[in-house]
């Protein structure tokens, strides 16, 4: 399945930003313009962008009938403020006025996103850490700004965030969508106990109130992957942190930092960039050696240490049982 690209409104060589974009993100938008949702809504937007490119423009605008190119893919476009230099392709989904038209426009949108992500070696992951396909909402969360598209518009036509992520990853060309079994979104698993410390597996937002977790509103702090947080208590599906903010207790997003004393662990490997120290005592008062990243240690036992834990080695020495320092091999 392939769709033609209409270049009627493509910028000329002397128009648009002349910088080559870093190939980090495909940035996806909707036009947010319900005043233009009749037939040829993408053409109307593209025509306007071509005439006003000095204010803002993206690379593509899609509706149910057409894919219009405005900015030259590979070069910087002006649709997402500070993230623009990192995006060789930004696409707008033009508004439409019926479910049937939406379905057609969405097929083209997904097809185009996947085509250019593949072309530029950008992962087909939605709003995760690192490179990948990013919504304007993600850009706002990570680079600032105030746009939150396109989740609201997609939701109006029945496309959830998890459906969008699935479709970007697997595509939905005619044959695939009818024959491929849609993979069921995994049911979220939450902590039912309170670890001393946790770390972010993906980017995690901390909120002022428990009820705001996941809303994108009133974010107090963003924790990058591997960032460590100290937990005050578990409240339902949320952790209250010691600074009073709340994060999700979803195990896809956070994990307990220390291996638990009851764990059966035979071998670990040093995974921190700075390597791992080895100590005479469980309190880590007397360091007797330091080992580089990649070193394997055979473990006798996981020992409790305060609210945390340590690994006991066969020679009676101790190393860290922090998962970000020494990770289980077997």
From the list 116-124, 139-147, 207-215, 287-295, the region that binds Zn ion by CB under 5 A is 139-147
* Pairwise CA distance, residues 255 & 262, whole Å: 17
* Pairwise CA distance, residues 168 & 173, whole Å: 11
Residue from 37, 147, 169, 202 that binds Zn ion (CB under 5 A)?
A: 147
CB 127 within 8 A of CB 137: yes
Q: CB-hemisphere CA count at 13 Å for 263?
A: 23
Residue from 101, 134, 136, 310 that binds Zn ion (CB under 5 A)?
A: 136
* Pairwise CA distance, residues 295 & 276, whole Å: 8
Give min distance, CB of 17 to Zn ion, in A. Answer: 17
- H helix count then E strand count, the chain: 6, 19
Q: How many residues bind to Zn ion according to rule CB under 5 A?
A: 4
59 interacts with Zn ion by CB under 5 A: no
Radius of gyration over alpha carbons of the chain, in Å? 24
**Nearer to Zn ion (CB atom), residue 31 or residue 250:** 31
**Nearer to Zn ion (CB atom), residue 153 or residue 199:** 153
Please, what is the Cα angle at 63 between 58 and 68, to 5 degrees? Answer: 45
- Distance, CA of 69 to chain centre: 26
* Pairwise CA distance, residues 284 & 306, whole Å: 13
Give min distance, CB of 22 to Zn ion, in A. Answer: 19
29 interacts with Zn ion by CB under 5 A: yes
Give min distance, CB of 246 to Zn ion, in A. Answer: 28
**Nearer to Zn ion (CB atom), residue 34 or residue 252:** 34
**Nearer to Zn ion (CB atom), residue 154 or residue 198:** 154
Binding mask 148-187 for Zn ion (x = CB under 5 A): -x--------------------------------------
**Binding footprint of Zn ion on the chain (CB under 5 A):** 29, 136, 147, 149
């Amino acid at each position: 399945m392939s769709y033609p690209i209409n270049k009627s409104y493509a910028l000329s060589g002397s128009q648009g930003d002349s910088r080559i974009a870093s190939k980090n993100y495909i940035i996806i938008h909707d036009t947010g313009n319900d005043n233009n949702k009749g037939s040829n809504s993408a053409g109307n937007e593209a025509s306007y962008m071509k005439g006003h490119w000095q204010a803002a423009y993206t690379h593509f605008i899609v509706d149910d009938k057409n894919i219009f190119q405005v900015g030259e893919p590979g070069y910087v476009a002006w649709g997402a403020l500070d993230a623009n230099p990192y995006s060789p392709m930004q696409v707008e989904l033009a508004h439409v006025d019926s479910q049937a038209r939406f379905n057609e426009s969405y097929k083209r949108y997904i097809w185009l996103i996947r085509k250019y992500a593949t072309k530029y070696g950008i992962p087909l992951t939605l709003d995760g850490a690192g490179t990948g396909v990013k919504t304007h909402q993600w850009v706002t969360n990570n680079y600032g700004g105030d746009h939150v598209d396109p989740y609201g518009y997609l939701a109006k036509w029945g496309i959830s965030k998890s459906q969008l992520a699935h479709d970007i990853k697997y595509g939905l060309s005619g044959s695939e969508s009818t024959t491929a079994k849609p993979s069921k979104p995994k049911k979220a698993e939450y902590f039912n106990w309170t670890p001393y410390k946790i770390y972010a597996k993906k980017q995690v937002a901390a909120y002022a109130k428990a009820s705001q977790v996941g809303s994108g509103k009133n974010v107090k702090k963003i924790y990058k992957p591997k960032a460590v947080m100290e937990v005050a208590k578990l409240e339902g599906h949320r952790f209250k942190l010691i600074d009073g903010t709340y994060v999700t207790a979803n195990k896809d997003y956070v994990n307990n930092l220390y291996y638990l004393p009851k764990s059966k662990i035979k071998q670990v490997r040093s995974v921190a960039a700075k390597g791992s120290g080895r100590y005479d005592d469980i309190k880590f008062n007397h360091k007797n050696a330091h080992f580089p990243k990649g070193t394997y240690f055979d473990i006798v036992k996981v020992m409790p240490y305060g609210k945390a834990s340590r690994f006991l080695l066969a020679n009676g020495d101790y190393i860290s049982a922090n998962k970000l320092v020494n990770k289980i091999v077997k």
